[in-house]
């Protein structure tokens, strides 16, 4: 090993640590802390204060309802999802939604009955994200097609799960009445 390092001039051994600290910054990060790195649970760490603008909560909006989507009679549930940031403001969400529809169990601590249907919806791609975004209500709109008859007046439980490499997994649940 002593022969391998003999070709380095003496000044290089003295200046190299100083040069490396200048190039990489004080904390050893050449981006000054703005580099995206894996965080806990495989998440991508987002620097402050930008992380405050990421979704911290999701909720199923009040305008979620059952409806007929077109003249061919395709029916389903129009789900409106709102992503809220650390300030409680509506924000964009890049990730994947999973919707689960359950029968409603009356007079139960857990109102979710039998699982009826599931729908995966991705808004990770910026173009697809824009397609689902509604500027007026500042919500995401998903038209979840459902092939069974939707009895008006029947209660259901809708569960939404949001996963993203930038945030914790988020959950929302809403009981709604078909046709209202």
pTM, to two decimals: 0.74
Contact 84, 92 (CB under 8 A): no
- Domains along the sequence of the chain with CATH: 10-45 (no CATH), 55-177 (2.60.40.1930)
The mean of the pLDDT values for the chain is 81
Q: What is the pLDDT of residues 42-100, one digit of tens each?
A: 678 888 899 999 999 999 998 888 887 777 777 889 999 999 999 999 999 999 999 99
| Nearest CA among 112, 117, 109, 119 for reference residue 175 | 112
Q: What is the pLDDT of residues 138-147, one digit of tens each?
A: 999 999 988 7
């Amino acid at each position: 090993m002593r022969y391998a390092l003999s070709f380095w001039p003496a000044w290089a051994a003295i200046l190299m640590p100083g040069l490396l600290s200048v190039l990489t910054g004080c904390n050893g990060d050449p981006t000054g802390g703005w580099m995206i790195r894996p965080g806990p649970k495989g998440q991508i760490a987002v620097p402050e204060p930008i992380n405050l603008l990421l979704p911290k909560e999701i909720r199923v909006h009040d305008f979620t309802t059952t409806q007929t989507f077109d003249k061919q009679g395709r029916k389903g549930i129009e789900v409106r999802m709102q992503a809220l940031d650390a300030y409680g403001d509506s924000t964009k969400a890049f990730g994947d939604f999973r919707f689960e529809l359950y029968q409603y169990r009356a007079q139960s601590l857990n109102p979710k009955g039998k699982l009826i249907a599931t729908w995966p919806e991705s808004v990770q791609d910026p173009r697809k994200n824009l397609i689902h975004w509604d500027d007026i209500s500042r919500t995401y709109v998903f038209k979840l097609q459902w092939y069974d008859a939707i009895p008006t007046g029947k209660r259901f439980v809708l569960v939404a799960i949001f996963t993203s490499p930038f945030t914790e997994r988020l959950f929302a649940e809403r009981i709604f009445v078909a046709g209202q």
